[in-house]
Amino acid sequence: MSATARKQPAAKRSAGKKDLVLGLGATGLSVARYLARNDVDAIYVDSRDEPPGINDLKEICPDAEVVLGDAPQKLLKGASRIIVSPGIADSDSFLAAARKKGIDVVSDIELFVAEAKAPFVAVTGSNGKSTVTTLLALMCDAAGKKGLAGANLGVPALDLLLEDQPDFYLLELSSFQLQRTQNLPAKVAVLLNISPDHLDWHADEAEYREAKYRVFDQAEAAVFNRADEEINEHLPKNLPTLSFALDEPQDGEFGLREDEGEVFLARGEQLLLSVRDIALVGMHNQANCLAALAAGQLMGLGLSPMLQVLNEFPGLPHRMQTAGWSGNVQFINDSKATNVGAAIASIESVAGAVVLIAGGQGKGGDFDRLATSTCGKLRAAILIGEDAPQLEEAFKDLTPTERADDMLSAVRRAAEIADSGDTVLLAPACASFDQYPNYQARGEDFVRVVEALTI
């Protein structure tokens, strides 16, 4: 990583002006800790009257100026740059006014890049990025390397800098973070897939895709999904790459091969591991495993420890997690399937018929695509949350639907509808914020209800 890239954010602060941190929560607090460590004064702004983390902020920066509620635009006169939490959309009127005045709007990742001394791997995609980032961290550990994982997953990126320097930082990056990051010289950039998502945040699908493609711009090497031809077209010339997909791989590529009726993860002609020996569930997770192997190879990790991790790691909570059984009906929690593409992948990865529980805040997702892509697999769909009416309309004449007021009634009704051998699958295709603080709380509620049902 160049010295120029590390110093740029600090150099852009104007004399006599302060940084303005927009949005508290986990990311905002990590920014506060970072600025406090570097003796940088800032103004902290949040549109909420009682934002989460306000008491923590007072402990971190007791003398900092804090503005809650509607932010007056006069604050922009004294702002050198604005460091924005990822959940705040670019269409926010305060940010629009800042850009008109030529004020830089940056992400916490921009600050991280300026300080990180170890190489980092940047993992993005519409689906699977948390799983792949976690796999890479476990693969580092199995190979005797120290890998610290965070950013959009778990620990905010700036808080990773509080730890002893690792061999690799492993960053899960959202489209929000990528859109606001100018300097991203990743050792390895990984783009898993792209399906329409966050269209309530981005202007359109084209802007969303362009944000994802930014991960390649300054990378030393890249891993990409060759099944998406559009991704291939956006790779910079002369960038070393490795590809993966669920087809037969050519020499040097990662994919699937069949041998004597058994399917294997493969590198070119080399058979690596039978898919029966992978602890993760579903074909989409086979793709995640292949992507992790490709990235690990570019990182210089040994093949044997990487395969050991694939054999042992059962997956993250709320991602195709078995919640229980009732008779011969399996209940699977995939609350992290917060967009249409993820929900389709979840449904397609399940053997047999599915009773789907879906709904929440749709984020502009294409529910018609969800309905037409999965109707052959669904016995019924139980719909919850704010956008249940839109889902109901999409599934009309394709799949039987019922509405439920809450998770308890949804699970009970799904259990009544399911036949022996079916799967009741929570794959909401929506965000959770209409009913829950986050997707984790939604998944935990599902698991609690299932456990009570199956005792």
Parallel, antiparallel, or unpaired: how do β-strands 188-191 and 79-84 relate?
A: unpaired
Alpha carbons 126 and 119: distance in angstroms, whole number: 24
The verdict on whether 198 is a catalytic residue reads yes
The verdict on whether 129 is a catalytic residue reads yes
DSSP code, position 71: P
* Catalytic pick among 152, 183, 225, 285: 152
The verdict on whether 74 is a catalytic residue reads no
What are the residues whose beta carbons fall under 8 Å from the beta carbon of 111, sequence distance 6 or more?
Answer: 9, 31, 34, 83, 158
Residue 280 CA, distance from chain mean position: 18
Closest CA to 377 of 356, 391, 362, 393: 356
Q: Which two three-digit tokens encode residue 23?
A: 């949005």
Alpha carbons 101 and 75: distance in angstroms, whole number: 12
Interior angle at CA 324, CA 138 and CA 127, nearest 5: 45
Closest CA to 439 of 430, 448, 447: 430
* Catalytic pick among 18, 127, 187, 198: 198
Judged by DSSP in three states, 222 sits in: strand
What are the residues whose beta carbons fall under 8 Å from the beta carbon of 21, sequence distance 6 or more?
Answer: 28, 31, 32, 35, 42, 43, 44, 45, 82, 83
Closest CA to 315 of 135, 147, 136, 170: 135
Strand stretches in 360-412, DSSP E: 378-384, 401-403
For 35-41, the CB contacts below 8 A with 24+ separation are: 35/61, 36/60, 36/61, 40/13
* Catalytic pick among 18, 129, 284, 336: 129
Looking at the DSSP bridge assignments, the partners of residue 67 are 45
Q: Which residues of 83-110 are buried (b: 16+ CB within 10 A; e: fewer)?
A: bbbbebebebebbeebeeeebbbbbbbb
Q: What is 141-169 written as a DSSP string?
A: HHTT--EEEEESSSS-HHHHTTSPP-SEE
Q: Which residues are catalytic?
A: 129, 152, 198
